[in-house]
């Protein structure tokens, strides 16, 4: 019996609810089954996103800026819904059920999208070419409504999946076992690789099928692949480890804030030891001086407890009294916010790679011999840059750092800084490239601007620098952010911190939509066309890229200041922290 118990995990159970047997559950095989879901999610989401702008403009006949905003709003909503998925997983469903349910939702969304792009009734008629100019009928409200329904079902599925896949994958490893802890680190490294692999398949194979065979076929493949991934995922039900949830981190944060506000007029105690604490010594987080207004939530007063019938001890009302450890967990989350805010701008730059950069590619020479490269497939250079950067970092930079400095490579904050720097340079390169493309467009027009459907005599490969620079930036910033938000967050709020990280992607896409709308409205007031004209050859996309480069440079400066001040806080000494006669408004 003792030998058997040594193979059981105290904080994980099997599918029957018994303590998980490490010899029969968890490990690499179950984790691989979970990663299959992630590959198919990336295949679906990115396969739709990178080529959606061409469908909205070419088939649904929407203006350039509006098409770009639909794409960025779709991607932004996908990542914002990770918070909803995380809340449901922590509070009600658990990670396993959350993944299963939202995978079905995404499969349903891609299936409906496949049907909607096939039926001629759900898209406007092709443009008429009679007369001196072509006439295009914009998609109706009903047609767009069906498209939005499909897209946001997919966004809902993506949000639920991404909030739990990485967490459920790491649940299959015991961080108290040195061997499995090393396997967990390997899992994190390969997790981003699998995301990039799914994206690579999306921007090559899937985009080619969309352009050459048919969108409905491509989206049907996404639906079928997700259904297969669900079956594979469910096949591992008996071999998974299920971690016990400690409740929703969002609720815990609200409890601390509510308790602190209720007790804002109380006096601080004279020593730290008078604050309420109920956590075991081994799992306690020691008190720190920063954000001390929250400490009042740990001051015990009459009414904080209620009688527990049938037992000798009383129940603590968590909305009135919180432990020091719970308060320090909230402080740790607050300390993440400056870095969180200054990484949003990168994902605004990223959004241009799947919207305006793809639209640029549609106007340029894309032939290699008799083969025509799909415009959406240009993002293969973006994904390639990610994979190359990861390989160089893993095989070159990390060994050199170990040899010369004894470190494991760049710190998470350094990697984020490198990623932001690449984004600044990438947008500057994009602005210069667009200046060159516009010059050729004007030359082709011979006194007038070339049509947006005209293929310009300029190679699409001049877009490679902007794709490569921003892609390399993502390799550094994504891994840096993931490392930062996981290592700097409390153990009980890892899911919350992962969701917080993913909201930077969401807000970056929404910020892109906001900037596009503002720039279009402000600049169009002069001549009706502006920087973001419906015909990309009539606009000044180079100025928009220049604006993003300037904003990114300012953001980089702010980030460097935030990173310099982002240091773990030292614990408070157990001596006096306040004068005994201090007032409620005194600083602690």
- Does the pTM surpass 0.85? The reply is no
Cα–Cα distance between 410 and 91 in angstroms, integer? 36
Q: How high is the pLDDT of residue 470?
A: 92
Residue with tokens 């109706």: 140
Domains in the chain, ordered, with CATH? 1-124+138-245 (1.20.1250.20), 249-333 (no CATH), 336-570 (1.20.1250.20)
Q: ∠ CA 236-240-244 to the nearest 5 degrees?
A: 145
CA–CA separation, 60 and 185 (whole Å): 45
What pLDDT is stored for residue 133 in this prediction? Answer: 56
The two three-digit tokens of residue 179, written as one number:
């061997």
Give the DSSP H/E element, type plus range, for residue 457: strand 456-459
How many angstroms separate the first and last alpha carbons of the chain?
52
Give residue 525's pLDDT band: very low, low, confident or very high (50, 70, 90).
low
pLDDT for the residue 453: 60
pLDDT digits (tens, 9 = 90+) for 557-572: 999 999 988 776 777 7
Q: What pLDDT score was predicted for residue 436?
A: 93
Judge whether 58 and 135 are in contact, CB under 8 Å.
Answer: no
**Dist. CA 438–CA 450, nearest whole Å:** 9
Q: What is the pLDDT of residue 511?
A: 93
pLDDT digits (tens, 9 = 90+) for 80-108: 888 888 888 877 888 899 999 999 999 99
Query: How many distinct helices (H) and strands (E) make up the chain?
Result: 20, 9
Least confident window among 310-314, 470-474, 498-502: 310-314
- Beta partners for 88? none
Mean pLDDT on 137-145: 90
**What residues does 8 pair with on adjacent strands?**
21
């Amino acid at each position: 019996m003792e030998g058997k118990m040594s193979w059981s995990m105290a904080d994980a159970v099997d599918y029957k609810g018994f303590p998980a047997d490490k010899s029969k559950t968890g490990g690499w095989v179950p984790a691989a089954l979970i990663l299959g879901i992630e590959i198919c999610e990336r295949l679906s989401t990115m396969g739709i996103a990178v080529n959606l702008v061409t469908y909205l403009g070419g088939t649904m006949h929407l203006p350039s800026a509006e098409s770009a905003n639909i794409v960025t709003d779709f991607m932004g909503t996908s990542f914002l819904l990770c918070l909803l998925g995380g809340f449901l997983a922590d509070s009600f469903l658990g990670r396993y059920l959350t993944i299963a349910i939202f995978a079905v939702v995404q499969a349903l969304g891609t299936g409906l999208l496949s049907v909607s792009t096939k039926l001629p009734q759900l898209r406007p008629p092709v443009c008429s070419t009679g007369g001196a100019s072509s006439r295009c009928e914009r998609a109706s409200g009903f047609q767009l409504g069906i498209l939005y329904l499909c897209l946001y079902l997919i966004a809902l599925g993506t949000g639920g999946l991404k909030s739990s896949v990485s967490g459920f994958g790491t649940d299959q490893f015991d961080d108290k076992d040195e061997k499995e802890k090393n396997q967990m680190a390997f899992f994190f490294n390969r997790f981003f690789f699998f995301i990039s692999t799914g994206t690579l398949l999306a921007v090559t194979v899937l985009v080619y099928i969309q352009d050459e065979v048919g969108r409905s076929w491509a989206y049907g493949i996404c639906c079928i692949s997700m259904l297969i991934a669900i079956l594979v995922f469910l096949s591992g039900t008996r071999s998974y480890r299920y971690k016990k949830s400690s409740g929703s981190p969002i609720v815990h944060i609200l409890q601390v804030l509510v308790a602190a506000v209720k007790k804002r007029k109380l006096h601080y105690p004279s020593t730290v030891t008078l604050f309420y604490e109920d956590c075991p010594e081994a799992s306690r987080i020691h008190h720190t001086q920063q954000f001390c207004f929250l400490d009042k939530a740990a001051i015990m007063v009459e009414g904080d407890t209620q009688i527990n019938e049938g037992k000798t001890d009383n129940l603590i009302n968590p909305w009135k009294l919180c432990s020091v450890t719970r308060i320090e967990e909230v402080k740790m989350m607050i300390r993440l916010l400056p870095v969180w805010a200054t990484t949003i701008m990168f994902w605004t730059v990223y959004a241009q790679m799947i919207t305006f950069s793809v639209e640029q590619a549609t106007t340029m020479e894309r032939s290699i011999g008799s083969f025509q490269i799909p415009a959406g497939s240009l993002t293969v250079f973006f994904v390639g840059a990610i994979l190359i950067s990861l390989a160089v970092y893993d095989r070159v930079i990390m060994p050199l750092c170990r040899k010369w400095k004894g470190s494991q490579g760049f710190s998470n904050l350094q990697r984020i800084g490198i990623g932001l720097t690449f984004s600044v340079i990438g947008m500057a390169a994009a602005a210069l490239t667009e200046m060159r493309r516009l010059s050729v467009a004007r030359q082709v027009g011979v006194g007038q601007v070339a049509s947006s459907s005209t293929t310009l005599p300029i190679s699409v490969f001049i877009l490679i620098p902007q794709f490569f620079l921003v892609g390399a930036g993502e390799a550094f910033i994504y891994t840096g952010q993931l490392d930062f938000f996981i290592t700097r967050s409390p153990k009980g709020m890892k899911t919350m911190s992962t969701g917080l990280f993913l909201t930077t992607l969401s807000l970056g896409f929404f910020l892109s939509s906001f900037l596009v709308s503002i720039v279009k409205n402000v600049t169009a007031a002069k001549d009706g066309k502006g920087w973001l004209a419906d015909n990309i050859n009539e606009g000044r996309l180079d100025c928009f890229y220049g604006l993003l480069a300037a904003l990114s440079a300012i953001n980089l400066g702010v980030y460097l200041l935030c990173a310099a001040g982002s240091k773990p806080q030292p614990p408070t000494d157990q001596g006096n922290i306040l004068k005994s006669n201090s007032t409620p408004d005194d600083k602690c």
